[in-house]
Amino acid sequence: MLTDQQILRIPGPTPIPPSVNRAMSQPMIGHRGQSTSDMISAIRPKLKRVFGTQQEVMILTGSGTAGLETAVVNTVAPGEEVLVVVTGAFGERFVKICKAYDIKTHVLEVEWGQAADPETVKAFLQKHPEIKVVLSTFCETSTGVLNPVKEMAAAVKEVSEALFIVDGVSCVGGTETKMDEWEIDIVVTGSQKAFMLPAGLSFVAASERAWSKIEANTQPRFYLDLKKHRDNILKDTTPFTPALSILFGLQQVLELLEEEGLEQVYKRHQLMMNMTRAAFKALDIPLLTNDEAASPTVTAVKPADFDSEAFRKIMKKEFGLEVAGGQQHLAKTIFRIGHMGYCSPADMLQAIAAMEIGLIKVGKEIELGKGVQAAQQIYLNEGE
């Protein structure tokens, strides 16, 4: 193995395109100068298209979790109650954020590996009409589940005036997102997943309904105050010092997404998901989620007859190929394969071929090439 070669097939951080790396290596500029304002002006409309919104998308210097906390602290007024739909570890992160602010938090637990049911959400809200905000993940990174947020938003609106807030950190930019059409009130994502950038930026968009609540909310906030960020981005600037090097990269990422075309970006992610799932099915290795709940950006594998941690170690040692482990009670039980951002069907064929060797080395009896062949057939059927 080449000592300096690393193949990231984890659900973030993800590989960075060479042109984005080059963009981020530009000489530093003044963050209050005209060049920065021109860059933000060029970024704004393209970000809106990725989110599927006419609203402004605020750019915060901070991780995805900063964006999640921003969504909570700006919308939940003192004394109000919220519902968090938990389908995995990052749904639980929303719970922890809410409890840190002493918010009365109702939790709707969903078995890890399954998607949320909109009808169950609706029934919960009917029993608890005092709930003012509903929070959910879009892609639950810890399980590879894509929650039906379009249908969930409709269910919430049918029985409640509550805002619907979505954590899209591990899928926005890799799966279709239509914030305005689906009537989602806040969408949050981060830079290090499908946006193909280093960690360090968080993006937050809010609906008109959400803005009404944000403006009336007396909850104290400073750095995470969305009103400050909105007022500044309308002037093509930021209220605080931005991560300029990542903004250089963001401008190039948005160029790449538009060059490929967003619809083609989403088809590519769907194709890589289908190839990965077909490979493990052909190798008779169980997947954590069913096809209907599967995310286009990350696949969770739940082996029944070999050690997932031993497999991960072999892949890292033999090929420099990293796949992620499970979290919390799924630690050492599953492994997760990221296929988002700067990732192509060719990358997945490489990864699947290498993983077949890793499976044999960990003691799993398989027919070499069977998984690759299944992935190849999916590509021939669905790819270009």
Structure tokens at 86: 């938990």
Which pLDDT belongs to residue 144? 98
Instruction: Decide: 345 and 378 in contact? Cβ < 8 Å.
Output: no
Averaged pLDDT for residues 293-314: 97
Give yes or no for residue 384 having a pLDDT over 80.
no
Interatomic CA distance for residues 55 and 144, integer angstroms: 29
Residue pair 372/353 in contact by the 8 Å Cβ criterion: yes
Give the other-Cβ count within 10 Å of 356's Cβ.
20
Residue 243: phi and psi, rounded to 5, are -80, 85
Cross-strand partners of 321 = 7
Range 67-82 average pLDDT = 97
Per-residue confidence (pLDDT) for residue 2, from 0 to 100: 82
Rounded-to-integer distance, Cα 117 and Cα 148, Å: 8
d(CA 359, CA 367): 10
Q: What is the mean pLDDT of residues 208-237?
A: 97
pLDDT digits (tens, 9 = 90+) for 136-174: 999 999 999 999 999 999 999 999 999 999 999 999 999
Mean pLDDT in residue range 332-338: 97
Q: How many CB atoms lie within 10 A of CB 263?
A: 9
pLDDT for 364-374, tens place per residue? 999 999 999 99
Q: According to the model, what pLDDT value does residue 371 have?
A: 98
* The pLDDT value given to residue 3: 82
Average pLDDT along the chain: 97
**Is residue 209 exposed (0-12), middle (13-18) or buried (19+ Cβ within 10 Å)?**
middle
pLDDT for residue 231 is more than 70: yes
**Distance between CA atoms of residues 160 and 131, nearest Å:** 8
- Average pLDDT of span 104-110: 98
Give the ranges where the chain is alpha helix by DSSP (H): 18-24, 34-51, 64-75, 89-100, 118-127, 149-159, 179-182, 208-216, 226-233, 244-260, 262-282, 308-319, 345-361, 370-382
Domain-wise residue ranges, the chain: 7-14+261-382, 18-258
Contacts of 238 (CB under 8 A, 6+ apart): 31, 40, 59, 61, 229, 232
What is the pLDDT confidence band of residue 101, given thresholds at 50, 70 and 90? very high
Residue 181: CB atoms within 10 Å: 11
Residue 211 pLDDT exceeds 70: yes
Q: Is 346 in contact with 258 (CB distance < 8 Å)? A: no
What pLDDT, on the 0 to 100 scale, is given for residue 306? 95
Mean pLDDT to the nearest integer, 16-25 = 98
Q: Distance between CA 256 and CA 313 in Å, rounded?
A: 34
| Mean pLDDT value of segment 115-134 | 98
State the number of CA atoms in the 13 A half-sphere of 103 facing the CB: 31
The residue-averaged pLDDT of 313-330 equals 96
Which pLDDT band holds residue 251 (cuts at 50, 70, 90)? very high
Q: 7: which strand partners?
A: 321
What residues does 114 pair with on adjacent strands? none
CATH 3.40.50.450 is right for the domain spanning 18-258: no
Would you identify the CATH topology of the domain 7-14+261-382?
Aspartate Aminotransferase, domain 1 (3.90.1150)
Handedness of CA 384, 346, 23, 71 (dihedral sign): positive
pTM: 0.97
| pLDDT above 70: residue 375 | yes
CB 367 within 8 A of CB 293: no
Q: Please classify residue 127 by burial: count the beta carbons closer than 10 Å to its beta carbon, then call 0-12 exposed, 13-18 middle and 19+ buried.
A: exposed
Q: Tokens 């499976």 map to which residue?
A: 359
Q: What is the pLDDT of residues 35-57, one digit of tens each?
A: 999 999 999 999 999 999 999 99
